[in-house]
Amino acid sequence: MSLRDKKKIETKKNIFEIAGRLFKEKGYDNTTIDEITKEAGIGKGTFFNYFPSKEALLQDFIKQKEELVFDILKDQLPRNISTKDKIKNILVLVAKSNENDRELTKLFVFEHMKHYGQEERKSTSLNQLIQVIFENSAKTEEFKIDIDLKMAAGNIAAIYFYSLMEWLWSKDDYSLSKDISNRIDMIFEGITR
């Protein structure tokens, strides 16, 4: 990687981190691009080279989460462990990444929900990824014969998002990753042989 490419990555990361801090301090709607560029020590043109709008920062956060899930998925798929453990490992690791910065996760999740459906984005949903794992494992006879793998994947993704939302709204300080782990254990007791 060239020095120029490294500088671009550092600049984009710096913009993202400063914007995240300002969003937490002032709120998403109350933070301006001018404030972000001033704090980052860059011009507006530089900001727009990386993010065409403030909303693009939100999309970048979602893209980073998707990339994290894909990286975890690539690591877990070839492992010689049960389907339950693959799915559980993926969801627990994603939950742990959200635990690293609860307030920023909350801000971006709720902002994303406000804008959901307004822009057409190509993304692979969590339930589609879980379905791929189920389909790759269907030959192992781990599951009940009559189970609808698409529905099972959707149910597990729904449990993850329900747990995430409960955790984000909760005033209590508890581990999202442990909560997800316990819920996955519970659901698999009902679908495995």
**What one-character-per-residue DSSP string does 76-117 give?**
HTTSSS-HHHHHHHHHHHHHHHHHTTHHHHHHHHHHHHHHTT
pLDDT digits (tens, 9 = 90+) for 134-182: 887 766 667 666 778 888 889 999 999 999 999 999 999 899 999 999 9
Backbone angles phi, psi at 72, to 5 degrees: -65, -45
Read off the pLDDT band of 76 (50, 70, 90).
Answer: confident
pLDDT digits (tens, 9 = 90+) for 84-99: 898 999 899 889 988 9
CA gap 92, 88 in Å, rounded: 6
Residue 118 has pLDDT above 80, yes or no: no
- The model's pTM is 0.75
The pLDDT value given to residue 137? 76
Residue 16 has pLDDT above 80, yes or no: yes
The pLDDT value given to residue 82? 86
Q: Tokens for 75?
A: 């690591």
In this prediction, residues 60-78 reach a mean pLDDT of: 80
Read off the pLDDT band of 3 (50, 70, 90).
Answer: confident
Round the average pLDDT of the chain to a whole number and report it: 84
What residue ranges define each of the domains in the chain, with the CATH number in brackets? 1-52 (1.10.10.60), 54-191 (1.10.357.10)
The pLDDT value given to residue 65? 76
Q: Tokens for 107?
A: 């801000």
CA gap 190, 188 in Å, rounded: 5
Q: Do residues 82 and 134 make contact, with C-beta atoms less than 8 angstroms apart?
A: no
DSSP symbols for 15-84: HHHHHHHHHHHH-TTT--HHHHHHHHT--HHHHHHH-SSHHHHHHHHHHHHHHHHHHHHHHHTTSSS-HH
Read off the pLDDT band of 192 (50, 70, 90).
Answer: low
Angle, alpha carbons 83-89-91 (nearest 5°): 105
Residue 64 has pLDDT above 90, yes or no: no
What percentage of residues in the chain have a pLDDT greater than 70? 89
CA gap 25, 20 in Å, rounded: 9
The pLDDT value given to residue 122? 47
Lowest mean pLDDT among 20-34, 150-164, 179-193: 179-193
Residue 192 pairs in a beta bridge with: 143
